[in-house]
Structure 1
Amino acid sequence: MAMITDASPASETEAEGLAFAREVLRIEAEALTRVRERLNGTVARAAELIHGCEGSVIVTGMGKAGLVGQKMAATLASTGTRAFPLHPAEAVHGDLGRIRADDVVVALSQSGETEEVLRLLPTLRRIGVNLVAVTERGVSSLGRAADLCIELGPIEEACPLGLAPSASTTVMMAVGDALALLVSRMRAFSPEDFALYHPAGNLGRKLMRVEDVMRTGRHIRRARVDETVREVFVRLAGPRRRSGAVLVEDAESRLLGIFTDSDLVRLFEKRREGDLDRPIGAVMTAGPYRVAVGSLLGDAVELMKAHKISELPVVDYSDRLAGLIDVTDLIGFTAADFEE
């Protein structure tokens, strides 16, 4: 098996470079396995502490550990926990004012002796926050000061010099993920919750509801069942979002039918101009396809595709008209946006 050495020739072959890269991954994978076996109930207690936090979770660390902390704070935030990163050097110059007694501070330091992080400890004690440490040694200054210490144990770096944080930051990031996802599970965080915080993401689009895109108010063409077709189109003239359908409703706003521009064209094609002065209820399509408020947009799109329709009414649970999805409202979406 290839081993990482202290020096590598500048002219090494592609095969040698590949062997080196694979060795880095082997070392980091083995470091993860060892920490997985060392992990104890402290991580679960830390998750319970964060889950019960009434304030914010503040994640701090210096250097590469600080970058890992930023990712950990982002993962916590995206899975339902209010979390923010805090640079320890900025903290001692005023940013400690962001911390309150009902917060939880998670401090990351491989050695547990990072000077910038240790300088925070006296103030954190005075504020009275709960402190969770993620560090290699529980007997370090940071480990001993913490209310809970997730001890990683000794970690062999993948760096040939044994200096550049590599395996240690990989492990720290994985433990941060484990902690954040455990808190997320405690919250019973759902795909719908995830979509709420990721509206621009692929999952967010998959979980969009019909009310996220439907048109409402004056941008729906509505008619009473006893109005004539001519009266309806004259009344609805004027600036508004273009829609290819008139939705026909009763006095309680319950959906009765739909009359589309295609229906209007067919009246002329069949020389039935006299129907323009008949009640729209007599020429509408009764009982049209519809979806309820709260339905997934993807399900609505499938219904429109299956029945080759361009307009789909949205109703509430009393069948009252709530909105309309027009095919033009879906421009910009792709089929992949709605695929599982």
Structure 2
Amino acid sequence: MSAAARSVVPFDHVEQLRSARDILRVEANALESLASRLDTSFCAAVDLIDSVTGSVIVTGIGKAGLVGQKIAASLSSLGIRAHVLHPAEAVHGDLGCVHEDDVVIALSHSGETDELNRLLPLLDRMGVPVVAVTASAGSTLGAAAQVTIEIGKQVEVDDHNLAPTTSTTVMIALGDALAVTLSRRRGFTPQRFALFHPGGSLGRRLSRIKDVMRTGEELRISSQNTAVRDVLAESARPGRRTGAVMLVDDEGLLTGLFTDSDLARLLERREETRLDEPISSVMTHRPITVTSDRMLEVAVEILSARKLSELPVVDSEGRPVGLIDVTDVLGLVPEAEHASSPTHPTTPVTPTTDGRYE
């Protein structure tokens, strides 16, 4: 069978692709429409949420309730205390998780959800303000809320305009807008983000260099005045081995670096006699360094951009306190290259005049 014959797309697949693209365009247009008509009610919601000292309680029923779980998770991810409250369970005891210093975000496309509207007088009695996300401010939910963000009557993309699709997409996007706007207003930092995301490669990349660097017995440190042969013999370490020796002067300040690659080059050039010379004659002088309080993504960026295998970590005076080996962060290097793109700005890694990244 020819390549052309194998590439023929069955007609039913063509129709499926056309339908899927139309669905995506409908939902994209709904988001564009909401973005165009979003008004100061959004700002009022941000002000209200930011003013409370308690938590953000997100509630909704059915698919809106699932959207609420995502919004609460996004808020929590960005350092804003948030919880989910199921409207039906609320009237059977779960309302006890709501306090007067909280704010409620209530989600309902129609604004007429019985389980949700049953909560409204209870929340009012408790003095808890409500931010409504609904199609119309004239609905029962919209009229009862302190702030109402109207998303407009959405046309669902299923054939019968019944299954929550476009409406839930709009709610999710609006929740993202609220969460990110609030986090910016509160000055949320990458350091705080790392605190809430300790797991996985993302959390690792946002950790501090001091939490990852090799230290103590794992380091190979020698005097720059010692012969190369003696340095290699004296700096041998058990267990996890680094591929570089950090060289220091008489005051303990880092002056150079000698790597396994440097040794290999000496042997390849048949310069074995230099093994008995002071290592300062063959070491890399004034190597690039970084301080331990920087975020790990800075070290990864340096290793990637400079194509280095080892990065010495020094204190404020220039004494070696650790080492980042590329094998320790190997899985993060592609992420660092991605993060340095214009759409993913990272912390600047401009060195000082002495090559140190502080």
- The amino acid that maps onto 1:290 is I
Q: Which moved more, 1:158-167 or 1:197-206?
A: 197-206
- SS of the aligned residue for 1:58 comes to strand
Tell me which residue corresponds to 2:50: 51
TM-score normalised to the size of structure 2? 0.73
Going from structure 1 to structure 2, the CA distance change for 1:153 and 1:97 (only over 3 Å counts) comes to same
Going from structure 1 to structure 2, the CA distance change for 1:18 and 1:218 (only over 3 Å counts) comes to closer
Aligned equivalent of 1:297, options 281, 299, 316: 299
- The amino acid that maps onto 1:320 is R
Structure 2 counterparts to residues 275-290 of structure 1, below 5 A: 275=276, 285=283, 287-290=285-288
Q: Structure 2 CA distance, aligned partners of 1:338 and 1:33?
A: 31
Contact 2:220 2:242 survives alignment (8 Å):
yes
- SS of the aligned residue for 2:160 comes to coil
Contact 1:59 1:70 survives alignment (8 Å):
yes
Going from structure 1 to structure 2, the CA distance change for 1:191 and 1:122 (only over 3 Å counts) comes to same
Q: Structure 1 CA distance, aligned partners of 2:190 and 2:148?
A: 31
Q: Which moved more, 1:253-262 or 1:46-55?
A: 253-262
Q: Structure 2 CA distance, aligned partners of 1:253 and 1:105?
A: 58
- The structure showing larger relative contact order (alpha-carbon pairs under 8 Å, at least 6 residues apart) is 1
Structure 1 residue runs without a partner (length 5+): 1-11
Q: Structure 2 CA distance, aligned partners of 1:229 and 1:37?
A: 69
Distance apart, 1:130 and its partner CA: 2.4
Tell me which residue corresponds to 2:351: none
Contact 2:228 2:274 survives alignment (8 Å):
no
Tell me which residue corresponds to 2:317: 318
Q: Structure 2 CA distance, aligned partners of 1:225 and 1:145?
A: 76
The percentage of counterpart residues that share the same residue type is 49
Going from structure 1 to structure 2, the CA distance change for 1:321 and 1:91 (only over 3 Å counts) comes to farther
Tell me which residue corresponds to 2:115: 116
- SS of the aligned residue for 1:332 comes to helix
Tell me which residue corresponds to 1:86: 85
Q: CA RMSD in A?
A: 3.7
Q: Structure 1 CA distance, aligned partners of 2:151 and 2:262?
A: 70
- The amino acid that maps onto 1:300 is I
Going from structure 1 to structure 2, the CA distance change for 1:122 and 1:248 (only over 3 Å counts) comes to same
Going from structure 1 to structure 2, the CA distance change for 1:206 and 1:219 (only over 3 Å counts) comes to closer
Distance apart, 1:174 and its partner CA: 2.5
The number of aligned residues is 323
Contact 1:46 1:148 survives alignment (8 Å):
yes
Going from structure 1 to structure 2, the CA distance change for 1:20 and 1:259 (only over 3 Å counts) comes to closer
Contact 2:68 2:107 survives alignment (8 Å):
yes
Going from structure 1 to structure 2, the CA distance change for 1:243 and 1:109 (only over 3 Å counts) comes to same
In the alignment, structure 1 residue 172 sits paired with structure 2 residue 165: no
Tell me which residue corresponds to 1:181: 180
Q: Structure 1 CA distance, aligned partners of 2:259 and 2:36?
A: 65
- SS of the aligned residue for 1:300 comes to helix
Tell me which residue corresponds to 1:219: 218
Structure 2 counterparts to residues 1-340 of structure 1, below 5 A: 17=16, 20-25=19-24, 27-189=26-188, 197=196, 210-211=209-210, 213-224=212-223, 236-237=235-236, 239-250=238-249, 253-261=252-260, 266=266, 270-272=271-273, 275=276, 285=283, 287-293=285-291, 294=294, 296-302=298-304, 304-305=306-307, 310-335=309-334, 337-339=336-338, 340=341
Distance apart, 1:337 and its partner CA: 4.2
1:267-316 superposed Cα distances (whole Å, 9 cap, x missing partner): 896454983xx8x66556263312222271233214552xxx53331223
- SS of the aligned residue for 1:185 comes to helix
1:131-161 superposed Cα distances (whole Å, 9 cap, x missing partner): 1111122233322222111123333333332
Contact 1:292 1:317 survives alignment (8 Å):
no
Q: Structure 2 CA distance, aligned partners of 1:53 and 1:170?
A: 27
- The amino acid that maps onto 1:105 is V
Distance apart, 1:116 and its partner CA: 2.0
Q: Which moved more, 1:72-81 or 1:62-71?
A: 72-81
- The amino acid that maps onto 2:51 is G
